[in-house]
Amino acid sequence: MSAGVRSTARIVARGNGRGGTALPVLEGEGSFALRRTRGAVPAESRVMLVGAMSGPLGGDHLTVEARAEEGAHLHVGSIAATIALPGQAKDAAQYDVRLEVADGGRLDWLPEQLISVGGSDLRVTTRADVAPGARLVLREEQVLGRAAEEPGRLTSRLTVYRAGRPLLDQELACGPGAPGGWDGPAVLAGHRALGQLVVVRPEFETEKPAATVLDEAGTVALTPLAGAAVLVTAVAPDALRLRGHLDEALKRLD
């Protein structure tokens, strides 16, 4: 077994019956500290992930679990970027995100970007389970290397289920040792920032946006999924322009 750090953060949000959201569970340990901040709207409870330690380093295993129950509106963000760093352990680091949204609940998962530093090795898995009457906004942003730096190895898998049936299951591996072609014209085409935005809404069951390219350069695409959801994928030269693309896409979907 790896000698890395084991850390888990747990968040449960519940409607308080008065149009607001309570947080009966707000627990962080090890690498995680959790801070409740003011929500953008009265019904929303906003929680920020604060990195209490450097990393994830090689051998670490970090887990975030967040659940929005009936009547809750939970927004989860982070204070700063997550930086995958090389460590003394040669094992890969693991970062697992588990999201659940019950009928009548809403969860916005909007953390800052993940940066893959040269020499690091990180495996990220994100799974969201959404009830038929639930709403989800999920954003992932990954930056391959710091300025003028080659990236580490990054493997990322994102799965979204609605009513127990898969809406999305995708995996991408980048950096040293990844399958060939990840930096080629069919995948990143030389860009070093990539992101996904998944929006799940009950009304998308009957009416949702058509597939389209959202920018003139052809680096941002909106794809309707086979269910009540849409996926926006984007690549960009840097994190700032990537965030701009995804923010504009989310405004378009609101």
If you average pLDDT over residues 61-80, what whole number do you get?
Answer: 96
Give the pLDDT confidence score for residue 52 in this predicted structure: 61
CA gap 249, 254 in Å, rounded: 9
Give the pLDDT confidence score for residue 242 in this predicted structure: 96
pLDDT tops 90 at residue 40: no
147 or 8, which is more confident: 8
If you average pLDDT over residues 25-32, what whole number do you get?
Answer: 91
Asked if 166 and 129 touch (Cβ cutoff 8 Å), the reply is no
Give the pLDDT confidence score for residue 123 in this predicted structure: 96
Helix (H) / strand (E) containing 9: strand 6-15
Predicted TM-score (pTM) of the model is 0.94
Beta strands in 56-211 (DSSP E): 61-68, 73-78, 82-84, 93-101, 106-109, 114-116, 121-130, 135-144, 153-162, 165-174, 193-200
If you average pLDDT over residues 154-166, what whole number do you get?
Answer: 97
For 251, the 3-state DSSP assignment is helix
Query: What does the chain come to in residues?
Result: 254
